[in-house]
Structure 1
């Protein structure tokens, strides 16, 4: 089951330009690094970490599922 989910996340043709990929990786790593700083609200830090990792993965794979869906509409 986990392998199917991993395959779904990383499958698909790259649909991001080089600029979009670079910006996603840079912002994702920046947000994830900011989330690693000690904060009083641990849930906010966790949310920022999840968003940062998501953006970094989006840039690293070059595939954005939301963009793929919007291109079909």
Structure 2
């Protein structure tokens, strides 16, 4: 797997969902990301690299219009897969295998 393919797959998994940001949110995210990335370029070492990566992630979020954190907060966990989303309902009770279930007496 080439580095380019790995980067594209990661981008699609994180930012590949349906747009869920307003125009103002997208502009703010892109603008702040550019400022953060530029500040990171001027700073040496690990802090500068981390600022640059965080800025690039904010720019990617603004350009795609999809925020995975906002998706999680809006009632489901959205996993982007190449432009489509799968929602997991967190309100649904998890299924436990019968061999793992244990009975706890009710306290009166």
How much is the aligned-residue C-alpha RMSD, in angstroms? 1.7
Return the structure number with greater helix share: 1
Mark the runs of 5 or more structure 2 residues left unpaired by the alignment: 77-108
The answer to whether the 8 A contact 2:15-2:61 is kept is: no
TM-score of the two chains, using structure 2 as the length reference: 0.59
Bigger Cα Rg: 2
Moved over 6 A (4+): none
Return the structure number with greater strand share: 2
Q: 1 CA distance for matches of 2:10 and 2:37?
A: 22
TM-score of the two chains, using structure 1 as the length reference: 0.85
Structure ranking higher on relative contact order (CA contacts 8 Å, 6+ apart): 1
What number of residue pairs does the alignment pair up?
71
